[in-house]
A and B are shown apart, each in its own frame.
Chain A
Amino acid sequence: MVNKSTRPTDPLIGNDSWNIQLDSNGRLKHFLTIEGLGSEILTNILDTAESFANVNEQRVKKVPLLRGKTIVNLFFEASTRTRTTFELAAKRLSADILNINISTSATSKGESLLDTLQNLQAMLCDMFIVRHSDSGAAHFIAGNVAPHISVINAGDGRHAHPTQAMLDMFTIRRNKGKDFGQLRVAIVGDLLHSRVARSQIHALNILNTGDVRVIAPKTLIPTDIEDMGVSVFNDLEAGIKDADVIIMLRLQKERMQGAFLPSEHEYYSQYGLTEERLRTAKDDAIVMHPGPINRGVEIESRVADGERSVILDQVKYGISVRMAIMSMVLGREPEHDETEAN
């Protein structure tokens, strides 16, 4: 028995929140957050995605890797793009996929999250792809499903969106090469409410990126975000100076309501990425955006559609990266005790 006479948690690493992501052999069992994963796993995902990128460019875009597996898209929050790319990725891996939009079904009738899970679990599926408006929802679900089910986080509250971050890393690698050590990456916009940014920051730091910056007005910078390994800028041009990669974040219209900002117009005048401002960055800098974009709010159309923009590539790569993650998680050799249980 563990002696808990001292504090049962380590003050530096906490409760090993990420450990439930790995099986006893150290391989991905769930994919909940980038935090705590090693660079080896991230690189492995990117390499695997590279091989699937070729599949996606062939005439027959299907491989039989996950034939017979059942995957459930469990979306408690509306989404078009993410849900669709997961669905396509699953189909190209020959898995059966079921879409369940919970926001209009069970929980609105008062059923608890746990009850919903137990009902779906009874349908004998292999993987849940989960999006939920509460931070920590994917961890909660992973901690409460039957041991043979894997969970992939497709976005939980403001906490994490790890598959998006991986497709962003894939996009950066395709454009800037495998060594992130010399790169300056600037993330611009609503950091406070962004799960994408949090996952990107973890991924960039794990991949040893030279300089990771976040840029936003003070009202949209989370407290102590420096502790995640970024430098903070409140001025756009200073922040993107000589950047290799600029990642723009979406500004939700409701941010005016909470008094985070006075108006979209004023935001654009200070933080909108225009062609002129883009000149501050390196000549070959790429511009990314997780979508959907607000033209004229955070980004000028000429930039979004311009030659530096890789926004549509991100969407395309999203399929390969999600195929990679799903196949790694579901294609594992069974663990010893799991075999026994089966």
Chain B
Amino acid sequence: MNRLLVSNGLILDPVTASVKTSDVYIADGNIVAIDHRPEGFEAEQTIDASGLIISPGLVDLCARLREPGLEFKADIHSEVTAAASAGITTLCCPPDTNPVIDEPAVVELIHRKAATAAHTNVVTLGALTRRLEGQLLSEMSTLHAAGCVGVSNSRKPVANTLILRRAYSYAANCGITVFIEPDEHWLSMGGCAHDGSVATRLGLNGIPVSAETVAISRALELILETGVKAHFGRLSSAHGVELIRRAKERGMEITADVSAHQLFLNEMDINSFNSMCHVLPPLRSQRDMEALRQAVKDGVIDAICSDHQPHEPDAKQAPFASTQPGISSLETLLALTLRLVHEQVVPTYTALSLLSTQPAAILGLNTGVLAADRPADICIYDPDQDWQLDASGMLSRGKNTPFEGWNFQGKVRYTIIGGTLVHTA
């Protein structure tokens, strides 16, 4: 028995676009009621949420935990602790671990370690092809049964389109969602920056927009033919967004996400060979960034994720192209998304939905909603608290962030996962 009361917090109602002060009653891991005290409810613990916003816990569609395989960068314990402190109550781990998530033992290992850490829930994507090599199908049904919420080939290529078609077809047969990180390997190979004027000036190998759009186009045709349920992750370009928009308009039931940093950085930010801005897909032009923001506003993009990739310091200490791509971004996910609210791109309830309700639905999870009988996965933040990012103070073992020194407004105060208060600030 664990009874928790969150009192006097503000809940945003997306239907009426209104804010109301509410109490949330939690028992046995679930929300049991909102507003009205259930008969006989005696709270063992009460959180005074006056002046704070109560949001569904954040659901992050893509976070690399580096375990198993790259524990010198980070591990499950360190990263789920960081995630919980950032209001993230569920995160999805892509299959490109070492060993790859292509057999149940690896799924079990990750789930067991995450459970031991007792912070953010971790769900996994299984490999679409064995060892992500793009040759043989993985045992998707077995992986699904072991707990994988979808399958993906990560950013690894499936060069043979017939194999890709059969993989989608088989996934459709198993009723599993395919998560696609669109990248045409041959077009992006050797590249480290957007193929545009900045890469030209700095003499960096460019990755053209077609690396994304060719992959999206190929995938869309195969999705149409196979009927597989599909999600496109980490869009980076205006043209990529346009392809998704048109496919949705045609009635295809696809979804898409963008990583938060793509909405705030563009190719100009790598100007001084800033390796913290070395990411894949690359930061593209200002115009692309604006198109991604517009797509978030229009609902073409359904979710914002962290695309968290923690690194040891050495990984970023080299000439730009030789550094490893990625940002340690769990702890800026909420802050950056709230900044979209301050910059009047989206209202607060939309921002929170992009971070919780919608990604939860994409993953097919029961969470992401504040309602009775749903899991009590809750993020409570102070919308007015100003703070400045100090990378050395981040809980993630990866301190690699281009947002060092940025000022943000809105900070997590409490994180509740499965009815247990796991983080207080």
Residues of A within 8 A of B (CB): 2-5, 7-9, 11, 14-17, 35, 112-114, 132, 134-137, 139-140, 144, 156-160, 195, 198, 222-225, 227-228
Contact = CB atoms under 8 A, between A and B. Distances in A.
A139 B203 CA distance: 13
Nearest to A17: B272
A248 to B, nearest CB: 20
A134 B206 contact: no
Given A35-B201, A225-B200, A156 B272 contact: no
Contacts of B268: 9, 11, 14
A217 B195 CA distance: 18
A8 B319 CA distance: 22
A15 B274 contact: yes
B272 to A, nearest CB: 4
A15 B321 contact: no
Contact of B318 (A2, A8, A112): A112
B317 A136 contact: no
A134 B264 CA distance: 27
B406 A4 contact: yes
Interface string B180-215: 000000000000000111111111101010000000
Interface residues of B, number: 31
Interface of B: 195-204, 206, 208, 264, 268-269, 271-274, 286, 314, 317-322, 388, 405-407
B405 A2 contact: yes
14 contacts: A3-B407, A4-B405, A4-B407, A9-B271, A11-B286, A15-B269, A35-B201, A136-B320, A137-B319, A140-B273, A140-B318, A157-B204, A222-B199, A223-B206
A225 B203 CA distance: 11
B319 A113 contact: yes
Query: Which of A35, A140, A160, A195: most chain B CB closer than 10 A?
Result: A140
Contacts, number: 103
A14 B197 CA distance: 13
Please report whether the interface of chain A is mostly helix, strand, loop or mixed according to DSSP: loop
B189 to A, nearest CB: 11
Contact of A157 (B198, B203, B318, B405): B203
Given A136-B319, A159-B203, A228-B201, A8 B273 contact: no
A310 B286 CA distance: 43
A134 B193 CA distance: 14
Given A159-B202, A223-B196, A5 B407 contact: yes
Contacts of A11: 268, 286
Contact of A132 (B272, B274, B319): B319
Contacts of A156: 203, 319
B272 A16 contact: yes
Contacts of A157: 203-204, 319, 321
